[in-house]
Amino acid sequence: MNITIPAVMITAPASGQGKSMVTAALARLHRNAGRKVRVFKHGPDYLDPMILEVASGQPVYQLHPWMTGEHECRWRLAEAARDADLILIEGAMGLFDGAPSSADLAKLLGIPALPVIDAGGMAQTFGALVLGLACFDPELSVYQVIANKIGSPRHGEMLKEGLPKGISLLGAIPRNEAMHIPDRHLGLLQPAELGNLDQQLDAAAAVLEAAGLGELPKAVTIASAEPVKPEALLNGVRIAIARDLAFSFIYRANTDLLLAMGAELHYFSPLADSQLPPADALWLPGGYPELHGSTLANNTAMADAIRGFYDAGKPILAECGGLMACAEELSDKEGVVHSLFGLVPGRSAMAKRLQGLGMHSLTAEQGELRGHTFHRSTLDTSWQPAARTHKQAGTGGEAVFWQNGLVASYFHGYFPSAPRLVAAIFRGQSLIFPSNSEKNHA
């Protein structure tokens, strides 16, 4: 059964326009008004969803026609629409950037785009920019726009007066410290690092309310769709998952899938704990080990436990930050070298610029695992990769190492895209990669 619900894609002409904080503040504004708000994020992102979950009080999932698949985009939206009062989707980059772009996702789901535009230093040109965004793709609906960082009420009036016919100004947001969350090299700070996040979100919501952004978007019809039920491929398998400030890049959909396949999940902190929970497999996700190198290095009991797990030949998945921590040494952004877990010979080191960015996939006999890379470090190791990921656009696949049950790479996988391959990794089963299967039985 189709469902009608207010829904909108919050986007922008480029990154850095303020759409993440506007999305979070809108979610908090409507939540404070007594509405149940479900928020989604277009594309691969770990940090924005953390903020959006705090803002909305509800789980946040990724929607991406290539990474998650079109059917999953539809059923997640339909599932949220069944009991929510409002759906917000935060776009990625600029409205038409990427393949698929935020505009592509909006069209797929039949949802209008709501551009957030940094209007600082702009007057009549604001209207021209809005006209371009609204007319570039006639299949995309754009009927409202948000002006961000205006200098004065008169500035907001000028922007409103210059809008093209058929497009209204939902609100003009003044510059306000409540609308800013600090960031670092991989994105926003994590909620646990922001002691006053709830208070700031309430303050940001009040800024939006005063700017007239309290009205609900138009209702749209969400088509009914049902999820695909995964097989119980991990029935009874106990998976220990690192989760703390150093290892926090975990998609909700990934842990949902592990549970749906029958796994038992046990979380631990490599920063604070001295031993692993009882487990058959170990997952070291991405995060910020480079910010906690000293603490990780000094926790020798945990390092010993992880090395013992590896020496026993038990399955380990190490993604990005997890791979960095598995190296013998990690050189942080100040050049300080820390001795870490020592599973992978060599050193990981922070670089001055991005070393990997984009959508990638890893193909094995058990399926094609889709995901992405986004890292500012390098790995110097004597190990040879068992396989390389395929970059969706351009060249530069990431190395995938496979040794003694350890699968390690800078690649972040979206587990629901390849349940059989994920199950094989956590069961320690043989992996056969088509391009170089001769080398894959390390």
Task: Output the pLDDT for position 437.
Answer: 39
Q: Establish whether the linkage from the previous residue to 6 is cis, with ω within 30° of 0.
A: no
Task: Output the pLDDT for position 244.
Answer: 97
170, 212 Cβ separation under 8 angstroms: yes
337, 380 Cβ separation under 8 angstroms: no
* Three-state secondary structure readout of 125-188: HHHHHHHHHHHCCCCCCCCEEEEEEECCHHHHHHHHHCCCCCCEEEEEEECCHHHCCCEECCEE
Residue type at position 32: N
In the predicted structure, residue 374 carries a pLDDT above the cut 90: yes
In the predicted structure, residue 395 carries a pLDDT above the cut 60: yes
In the predicted structure, residue 184 carries a pLDDT above the cut 70: no
Q: What is the dihedral of CA 266, 267, 271, 274, to 10 degrees?
A: -20
* Range 149-157, long-range pairs (CB < 8 A, 24+ positions): 149/18, 149/118, 149/119, 149/120, 149/173, 149/174, 149/175, 150/119, 150/120, 150/174, 150/175, 151/120, 151/175, 155/119, 155/123
Separation between Cα atoms, residue 143 and residue 164, nearest integer Å: 10
Q: How many CB atoms lie within 10 A of CB 191?
A: 18
Please give the CATH architecture assigned to the domain spanning 238-439.
Answer: 3-Layer(aba) Sandwich (3.40)
Residue 78: pLDDT band by 50, 70, 90 thresholds? very high
Give all strands (DSSP E) within 210-326, no chain letters: 219-222, 238-242, 247-249, 264-268, 281-284, 286-287, 316-319
**Residue of 73, 135, 320, 326 marked catalytic:** 320
Domain ranges, ordered by start, for the chain: 3-222, 238-439
Q: How many CB atoms lie within 10 A of CB 152?
A: 11
Separation between Cα atoms, residue 415 and residue 365, nearest integer Å: 15
Task: Specify whether 320 is catalytic.
Answer: yes
Q: Stretch 50-62: mean pLDDT, rounded?
A: 97
272, 244 Cβ separation under 8 angstroms: yes
SS3 67: helix
Secondary element (H or E) of residue 387: strand 387-388
- Tell me the Ramachandran region of residue 98: left when phi exceeds 0, alpha when psi lies from -120 to 50, beta otherwise: left
Q: Stretch 59-85: mean pLDDT, rounded?
A: 97
Closest to 403 in 3D by CA, of 362, 424, 431: 431
Task: Output the pLDDT for position 217.
Answer: 95
Radius of gyration of the chain from its Cα atoms, rounded to whole angstroms: 23
Residues 6+ apart with CB under 8 A from 60: 39, 40, 41, 49, 52, 53, 252
Task: Output the pLDDT for position 439.
Answer: 40
Residue 435: pLDDT band by 50, 70, 90 thresholds? low
The answer to whether the Cα torsion of 64, 68, 70, 72 is positive or negative is: negative
Q: Stretch 60-76: mean pLDDT, rounded?
A: 97
In the predicted structure, residue 10 carries a pLDDT above the cut 60: yes
pLDDT digits (tens, 9 = 90+) for 311-363: 999 999 999 999 999 999 999 999 999 999 999 999 999 998 889 889 999 99
Q: Could you write out the DSSP letters of every residue in 10-34?
A: EE-SSTTSSHHHHHHHHHHHHHHTT
Q: Same CATH fold, 238-439 and 3-222? A: yes
Task: Output the pLDDT for position 440.
Answer: 38
Q: Could you tell me the two tokens for 156?
A: 């907001």
- Return the percentage of the chain with pLDDT > 70, whole number: 98
Separation between Cα atoms, residue 11 and residue 92, nearest integer Å: 7
**How far lies 65's CA from each of 98, 101, 113, 152, 181, in Å?**
12, 9, 16, 40, 29
- Tell me the Ramachandran region of residue 109: left when phi exceeds 0, alpha when psi lies from -120 to 50, beta otherwise: alpha
Separation between Cα atoms, residue 405 and residue 121, nearest integer Å: 56
Average predicted confidence (pLDDT) for the chain: 95
Q: CATH classification of 3-222 is 3.40.50.300, yes or no? A: yes
